[in-house]
Amino acid sequence: MNKFLQTQNKLKGPVFSVITPFTKNGEIDYPSLKDYLKYLYFKGARNFYVMAYNSRLTLLNEKEIISLNLFCIKQVKKLNKENVIICGEPYHCSTEQSIKYVNYFKKKGADIVSLIFGEKYYSDNQLYEHFKKIHNKTNCFLLLHQQPLENGLSSNPILYPLELLIKITKLSRFIAMKEDAKSDIYTKKICKKISKNITIITSGGGKKQWLKAAKHGCTAWLSGWSNLNPKIAIDFYNYYKLKDKKKMNIIIKNIEDPFFKIKNQYGWHLTIKALLELNKNFKRYERSPLKEVDRNKMLKIKKAFEQVIIKLRKSKLEKYFFTRSE
């Protein structure tokens, strides 16, 4: 089996985004990050993704982005050289900058580099040429981070044209795509047209959203609440392979649905940081202009969190307790 297929076979089921912890002064908290990566690994995580938003790349300067990626490569591969580490480039990059990042991260041990391009000020062909040039001048597996594009013509975000995605992902070293449209119809079209060639990683909507996409060939999803305890997602994927709908529904009903209710009140990014603090992984500090939830909201999240724990205990699901001591 060639390297492409080996890596692609590993990239199935849950993919865990690297959530970047900060100190009170807004600096990257590397000691806590080291502990957190170990925690994820020993709970079952094998695919790690340094990405634009969860990893806060949009708030970091170039030096910090490089440092964060290199730190994660070193720690993830130290835990197990067979782990898959996906590195991320800055949100706004010129073609030549992207080429530089891809080659550098590949040299340092990255398995895949994620490419993101957030603007649609140019023609479809210019976007294609951007990705094609990166592909042709690098020697690393690539992931296309597909998300609605900022449109300079009408100011309304637009989705990547399907034909453009097909064209980009036919380039031989594009191994995966993070599908971020959060549209059932669009996601279905993408999966049907593209999933035979590359791995589709859904984002948003949780496991229920992924199950819809899985019917059309999607084999991976970006884990959300399972960042609190990867065993949740690992077990869910195993139940999926066994076609055990009953056990999948237990996880959705008792864990995912309650946490989505919390998220809907305070937003995903702030809620997951608050829960990771309650989980004793690291403090919920953010970097400006983001601001962590205040004390009053934290108390409300804590109360909701404790209710989930009680529900898990009643359902005899103690193995999913979100504590580092487990």
- Cis status, amide bond into 289, omega within 30 of 0: yes
For residue 78, the model assigns a pLDDT of: 98
| Dist. CA 41–CA 72, nearest whole Å | 12
| Dist. CA 147–CA 178, nearest whole Å | 8
The parts of the chain modelled with pLDDT lower than 50 are 324-326
Rounded to 5 degrees, φ, ψ at 152 are -75, -10
User: What's the distance, CA 44 to chain centroid?
Assistant: 16
The structural domains of the chain, ordered by start, are 3-242 (3.20.20.70)
Q: What 3-state class would DSSP assign to 119?
A: strand
For residue 326, the model assigns a pLDDT of: 41
Question: Which residues are CB-neighbours of 152 under 8 A, at least 6 positions away?
Answer: 119, 120, 121
| Dist. CA 167–CA 153, nearest whole Å | 23
Q: Is the pTM of this model over 0.85?
A: yes
Q: Give residue for tokens 């990239």.
A: 11
Q: What 3-state class would DSSP assign to 36?
A: helix
Number of helical (H) and strand (E) elements in the chain, helices listed first: 13, 8
| Dist. CA 58–CA 97, nearest whole Å | 16
Say if CB 106 and CB 65 are below 8 A apart. Answer: no
For residue 186, the model assigns a pLDDT of: 87
